[in-house]
């Protein structure tokens, strides 16, 4: 396989930094272009980015000159894939410009998630939704494509619910305890979050409900996207944890706790045989300890790409309840876009 040129849009932000960290040493992808705002363009990356990750900045990244978020920027034309960490407030037209120029945009932004011709992709759940790309290209008249990953909270929830669809899952209520890194940098003011929980994240609850139903649903050329017949109710909160969204899930389905445990244990990852570099050995992991999962102890399982589940037990209202944990900036953001791009290489959407 040839080395595939990639770029990162919004490279100086927290998710952009996570992209660079995860792409360091990637066996398929070479980072050839970094795009950011006008105030960063023209600077060396080491001067433009305020590095906030616990992982060190890759040495090669520091010497790259940051360009504008424009397909005409130096280096951008050598990229088959553009990973977007842009804020949703500006991502839409920028991503469209790169797709129009022939690039495959794998984006973490919400701007295009609910478009009728754009997939919200989780490879282990709905890889067949990639079929909509042909429709997207025909409708929009471009050679590139836009593929989104889900909201970071949705990613963990949808992956955790997917094995339960065979148990006639019908209703879900979830309360999330979301990490500070999900708010980006500088994020939540320290005096607001210390000794506190913020019981509101603007727009999050609506995203979780809508995206989960889309991801768990179906797609066909004739019908387009059809949402899964699952009711989803979400309450989203921000807590004083650095990384890792913990979610308390209540589910109504045909079965009890042991059926749910069996569904998790028996889950066969459909990506397991594709050799995707970012794919974890186990996409879902059921833990038996009563006090797990915990963000500090479990968020890095599978290099941050494994969703961990625990405390499966009866619920007197909906039937079954359990906890799940997703690393929000890896599985829920940068890692999600990277594994999406890897799947597109395997499917021939990105020339390999």
The yes or no reply on domain 152-327 and CATH 3.30.1330.10 is: no
Closest Cα partner for 58 from 89, 18, 90, 97? 18
Per-residue pLDDT band for 2 (boundaries 50, 70, 90) equals confident
Query: Residue range 324-334: average pLDDT?
Result: 98
Domain-wise residue ranges, the chain: 4-151+333-346, 152-327
- Catalytic member of 69, 112, 129, 152: 152
Q: Is 152 a catalytic residue?
A: yes
Residue 222 has pLDDT above 80, yes or no: yes
Per-residue pLDDT band for 186 (boundaries 50, 70, 90) equals confident
Q: Is 236 a catalytic residue?
A: no
pLDDT digits (tens, 9 = 90+) for 114-171: 999 999 999 999 999 999 999 999 999 999 999 999 999 999 999 999 999 999 999 9
Fold designation for 4-151+333-346: Rossmann fold (3.40.50)
What's the whole-model pTM score? Answer: 0.97
Tell me, what's the pLDDT at 204? 97
pLDDT digits (tens, 9 = 90+) for 284-296: 999 999 999 999 9
- Catalytic member of 112, 129, 245, 327: 245
Residue 1 has pLDDT above 80, yes or no: no
pLDDT digits (tens, 9 = 90+) for 293-323: 999 999 999 999 999 999 999 999 999 999 9
Tell me, what's the pLDDT at 185? 84
Q: Which two tokens stand for residue 92?
A: 């839409």
Tell me, what's the pLDDT at 218? 98
Torsional sign, CA 271, 272, 276, 277: positive
Question: What is the average pLDDT score of the chain?
Answer: 97
Tell me, what's the pLDDT at 352? 78
Closest Cα partner for 283 from 147, 154, 116, 163? 163
Closest Cα partner for 226 from 214, 237, 238, 234? 214
Torsional sign, CA 342, 344, 348, 352: negative
Query: Residue range 192-214: average pLDDT?
Result: 97
């Amino acid at each position: 396989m040839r080395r595939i040129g990639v770029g990162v849009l919004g490279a100086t932000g927290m998710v952009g930094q996570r992209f660079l960290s995860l792409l360091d040493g990637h066996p398929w992808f070479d980072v050839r272009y970094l795009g950011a705002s006008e105030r960063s363009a023209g600077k060396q990356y080491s001067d433009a980015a305020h590095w906030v990750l616990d992982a060190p900045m890759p040495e090669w990244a520091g010497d790259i000159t940051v360009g504008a978020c424009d397909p005409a920027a130096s280096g951008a034309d050598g990229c088959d894939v553009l990973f977007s960490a842009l804020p949703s407030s500006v991502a839409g037209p920028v991503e469209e410009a790169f797709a129009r120029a022939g690039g495959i945009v794998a984006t973490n932004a919400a701007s295009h998630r609910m478009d009728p011709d754009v997939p919200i992709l989780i490879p282990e759940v709905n890889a067949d939704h990639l079929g909509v790309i042909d429709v997207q290209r025909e409708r929009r008249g471009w050679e590139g494509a836009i593929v989104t990953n889900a909201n970071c909270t949705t990613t963990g929830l949808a992956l955790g619910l997917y094995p339960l669809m065979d148990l006639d899952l019908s209703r879900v209520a979830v309360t999330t305890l979301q990490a500070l890194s999900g708010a980006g940098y500088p994020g939540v003011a320290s005096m607001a979050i210390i000794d506190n929980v913020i019981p509101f994240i603007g727009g999050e609850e609506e995203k979780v409900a809508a995206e989960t139903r889309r991801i768990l649903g179906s797609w066909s050329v004739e019908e387009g996207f059809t949402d899964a017949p699952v009711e989803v109710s979400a309450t989203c909160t921000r807590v004083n944890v650095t990384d890792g969204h913990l979610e308390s899930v209540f589910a109504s389905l045909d079965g009890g706790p042991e059926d749910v445990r069996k569904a998790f244990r028996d889950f066969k990852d459909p990506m397991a045989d594709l050799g995707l570099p970012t794919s974890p050995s186990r996409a879902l992991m059921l833990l038996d300890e009563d006090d797990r999962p915990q963000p500090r102890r479990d968020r890095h399982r599978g290099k941050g790409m494994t969703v961990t589940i625990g405390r499966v037990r009866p619920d007197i209202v909906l039937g079954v309840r359990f906890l799940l944990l997703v690393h929000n900036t890896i599985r829920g953001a940068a890692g999600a876009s990277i594994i999406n791009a890897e799947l597109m290489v395997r499917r021939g959407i990105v020339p390999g």
